[in-house]
Structure 1
Amino acid sequence: MTTAREIMTEDAECIGAEETVLEAAKKMTRMGVGALPICGTDDRLKGMLTDRDIVVKVLGAGKDPAQVKAGELAQGEAVTIGADDDAQEIMRTMSEHKVRRLPVIDGHRLVGIVAQADVARALPDPQVGDLLQALSTD
């Protein structure tokens, strides 16, 4: 069975918890991504920051993105997947938590990101449909 390590995007870059949301937006633009892991000064994953978070929780709320810290938007414990977990476990975790991207952890270290599209390429067609349906329903 295909593992997260085999299908993930390696070398995921974090946004520091103390960096601003404006810095995060610039980094997303430069990298061409819609989400960044939020890492603390202890090099541990604190959460994920998405472009939607920036729009809804910062801009839409009338806050200044140059003043809001990325760490302020980290909510609870981050949903992650182990580097050696298989595609079925990734699909289950994405479906259960209704997330389209999962940080991949090896021990406590961030080693990559698995996106919905990565999983879709690794699964047989009927299971891809199940994943897309699970992520698309409220």
Structure 2
Amino acid sequence: MGFLKEMYAKSLAIKKCLKFAEDNCFKNIRDTLSKFEIPWEKALEENQTSKIRFVSAMDHVIFHSDRFEILVDTRGFKPEEIKCNMTPTSVEVTAQTDAKIDNNVQKRMSLSRQYMLPQNAVPENGVCCLSQEGILLITAPWSNK
């Protein structure tokens, strides 16, 4: 990040939530996904049964007139391994972990996403919610300026 962006960057706390289908934190995004006929229930089922990590149907960016919503599949990462930084013009999500697999072999997993926003957001009002399934929701209102 450049100096000016760093000055306006806000690190968002990752709030642990209940299941995606149950927690009120995800109600608006569930309604939005249903409205656009995005089968989020099926995507969650596939994510839970799949042993292969892939960019899933749960990776979405949705712009509303009053806010944006970003869903990121962060399965395999603990809340403390995920970082979310927001500026008025961008959102950056990074995660890194060392996972043990068979015979104590370690595998490093990492995730990096950067989203450029089409108008200025209000990072101070940004929220990050992490479902029990590992779906991260990032949302913030647009600036009125």
TM-score by length of 1: 0.32
TM-score by length of 2: 0.31
The structure in which a higher percent of residues are helix is: 1
The structure in which a higher percent of residues are strand is: 2
